[in-house]
């Protein structure tokens, strides 16, 4: 999803969480993770483009699914599963709960809001497919490749 969409979703979620809990730290941690979870996209950018940083190019390449490989180290159902176990077996504080909720919502919106195949957000699936974009995303819907 585009950054603007994640900002709108994260803001809405954070306001909702604050409204029902009155805990600003829960809302703030949710907002921050909801947006900054996408920092893993920089890994793909640097992997393909080297250490040059061109923000316009960064967004253009990501939105066009222009990379040959995508790793998305923070976007994974497996991480959500591990995180869920941690939440269940510990007494999660407001920060951890905010991160968990935002992570879950972010992953769900990416899964259904992007051109992803059903298992694209499984790290194991990406790994088995050698992180090749053509096997992970519906780039045919963009008219590329």
Can you give the three-state secondary structure of 74-115, one letter per residue?
CCCHHHHHHHHHHHHHCCCCHHHHHHHHHHHHHHHHHHHHCC
CB 105 within 8 A of CB 27: no
Q: Distance between CA atoms of 13 and 7, rounded to whole angstroms?
A: 10
The count of structural domains within the chain is 1
Provide the domain limits for residue 70. 3-142
Q: Distance between CA atoms of 110 and 97, rounded to whole angstroms?
A: 20
Q: Give CA 46 to chain center in angstroms.
A: 17
Q: Tell me: the pLDDT tens digits for 9-63?
A: 999 999 999 999 999 999 999 999 999 999 999 999 999 999 999 999 998 888 8
3-state secondary structure of 116: strand
pLDDT at 145: 44
């Amino acid at each position: 999803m585009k950054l603007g969409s994640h900002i709108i979703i994260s803001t809405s979620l954070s306001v909702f969480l604050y409204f029902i809990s009155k805990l600003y730290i829960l809302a703030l941690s949710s907002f921050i993770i909801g947006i900054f979870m996408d920092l893993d996209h920089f890994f793909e950018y640097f992997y393909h483009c080297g250490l040059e940083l061109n923000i316009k190019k960064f967004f253009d390449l990501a939105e066009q699914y222009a990379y040959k490989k995508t790793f998305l180290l923070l976007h994974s159902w497996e991480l959500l599963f591990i995180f869920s176990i941690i939440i269940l077996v510990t007494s999660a504080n407001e920060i951890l709960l905010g991160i968990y909720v935002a992570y879950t919502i972010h992953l769900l919106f990416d899964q259904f809001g992007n051109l992803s195949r059903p298992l694209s957000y499984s790290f194991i699936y990406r790994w088995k497919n050698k992180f090749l974009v053509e096997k992970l995303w519906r780039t045919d819907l963009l008219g590329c490749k």
